[in-house]
Chain A
Amino acid sequence: MLEIRDLTTGYGRAQVLWDVTASVADGEIVTLLGPNGAGKTTLVNALSGILRPWSGQVLLNDIDLTATRPHLISQSGIAVVPEGRRIFPDMTVTDNLLIGAYNKRARPHHEGNVERIYEIFPRLSERKRQLAGSMSGGEQQMLAIGRALMAEPSLLLLDEPSLGLAPIIVENIFEVLKQLNQEGLSILLVEQNAVEALNLAGRGYVLEEGRIVGEGSSGELLADERLRKAYLGL
């Protein structure tokens, strides 16, 4: 599904990622852990086309995304739930969802998909015509996930979806992610909330100072003494 090979990138001249190699297999949930400033969001930006890689490769189903023009990446099957949600606050909930379906592949199915999103998140269906910026943080996060699903992705990237949300909402959102995964969606989950993330994911990577410094199954990572101290607060 997703293959990241020796990816190097940064902002301006400041290099952030060094030779990052990672993968997500079909139907997997993989989590990316690491402290603030490790480069997690930079990696998400590079995968979603916001940032161009300096070197290395990103392959999605054997298609080289580093050679794909940024606005065509969603068409090839990656959809992103960005850090801080980045919904369009002055647009209605429905219009936000429709932007998710902008790419040529997903657009013909937008009507059915909007209904599907409203079934997944009934809270959103009560607020269809409300301006997205007037909703609570949890509702905005649901909208950001709904918008990404509208793109009919094969891989969903989530950048800190639990940030700033009440535990009950986080639980609800993680439940939805589990459900979507069981229906076949592959997920790359960037999280600070390491315990929750490892409980959901099958595998994980640890990113520190722009380099992958550890990887393993969730069980292995949860048992790792150093990781427990650094991220799990145990």
Chain B
Amino acid sequence: MNADLLTQAAVSGALIGGLYALMSLGLSLSWGALENINLAHFMFILFGAYVTYQLTSSAGIDPLLAALIVVPLGFAAGGLLQIFFEWAKVDEFKSLIISFGLFIILQSLARTIWSADFRSLDQSINPYVGSSFTVGSVSLQIPLVIAFVAAALIAFGTQAVMGRTFFGKAVRAVVHDPDTAQAFGVDHRRVGVLLAAIASAYSALAGVLIATFQSLSPTMAVGWFGIVFPVVILGGLGNAVGNFLAGIIIGVAAGVAAVIWGPLSASLVTFSIMVLALLFRPEGLFTRKAAI
């Protein structure tokens, strides 16, 4: 085993871990704060990626600039879905079943629109794919660096908003006791819709970043389960910075495992980490809880 190869795997794993964190943050927020296990987030990511692909390939828009269109669309879609969940009084378990149905429907829709063939942005219109720079003996892919920086900014920004603003405190209050929060002036429906919209906007942005360097296919969303659920559980539901650190841990673990035991071992390792986390730290590695 070559030390350079391992270092490269760990660094690339940490970078892609940033993307994993962003892919997981929407689900984590909606699970932790809205008590929805919303599998539609996988579709927000997938459609975010495909719509970016479409905007870039047919209108020639820079894929990162496509975020200016894709992210607001994700925001609106998540908000509308939450309005439906509120209206239909969907609880945690029902949200899992309903959003699983949505997952299947939207995945078929993606296949109908874009076919089951791999789609990727050609280098002539996508300046990011394949570009990299080296530090010492380690090569850093530029789209992964962009994703990592975006994920870090969003994680710490979200944490700051949750901890310091009235909106963030209202979210936490609603999670624990919506009736009491309401008695003090918190409109819990409005808070829920806004939070769901922000969460799905994050997922859509993850999709944009994926489109800058990966080939897209409708079934790729299934492969994301092995990444997103371990990150969400390890990071702690609704904990943005914990989620970011968990993304890095999972990214490094999967990357290093792939080098040592081959690519197929990656999801074995990530799921093993998730199971261990559920057994020994079900509240996540980074969550502070009251004694009672």
Interface of A toward B, CB cutoff 8 Å: 48-50, 69-75, 79-80, 82, 86, 88-91, 95, 98-100, 102-104, 107, 131-134, 147, 151
Residues of B within 8 A of A79 (CB): 183-184
Q: Are A102 and B172 in contact (CB under 8 A)?
A: no
Tell me which of B172, B289, B290 has the highest count of chain A C-beta atoms within 10 A of its own C-beta. B290
* A-B contacts at CB below 8 angstroms, number: 79
Task: Give B contacts to A, CB under 8 Å.
Answer: 166, 169-170, 172-173, 176-177, 179-188, 288-292
Inter-chain contact B291/A99, CB cutoff 8 Å:
no
| Residue of A75, A80, A102, A103 with most partner-chain B CB within 10 A | A102
Assuming A91-B172, A103-B184, what are 12 further A-B pairs, CB within 8 angstroms?
A49-B183, A74-B183, A88-B173, A89-B290, A98-B169, A99-B173, A99-B186, A107-B166, A131-B291, A133-B292, A134-B290, A134-B292
Q: Are A91 and B183 in contact (CB under 8 A)?
A: no
- Of A88, A104, A134, which is in contact with the most chain B CB atoms at under 10 Å from its CB? A88
Q: Considering the chains assembled together, what is the distance between the CA atoms of A140 and B122 in angstroms?
A: 61
Which residues of the other chain, A, contact B187 by a CB distance below 8 angstroms? 69, 71
**Cα separation A82 to B181 with both chains bound (whole Å):** 11
Given A98-B166, A102-B166, A133-B292, do A90 and B172 touch, yes or no (CB 8 Å)?
A: yes
**Nearest B-chain residue to A99, judged by Cβ:** B173
B179 neighbours in A (Cβ, 8 Å): 50
User: Which residues of chain B are within 8 angstroms of A131 by Cβ–Cβ distance?
Assistant: 288-291
Residues of A within 8 A of B289 (CB): 90, 131
With A91-B173, A99-B173 as contacts: A48 and B183 at CB distance below 8 Å: yes
A132 touches B169 (CB 8 A): no
The docked-state distance in angstroms from the alpha carbon of A86 to that of B184 is 12
CA distance A90 to B188 in the complex (A): 18
Given A86-B177, A88-B176, A90-B172: A102 and B290 within 8 A (CB)?
Answer: no
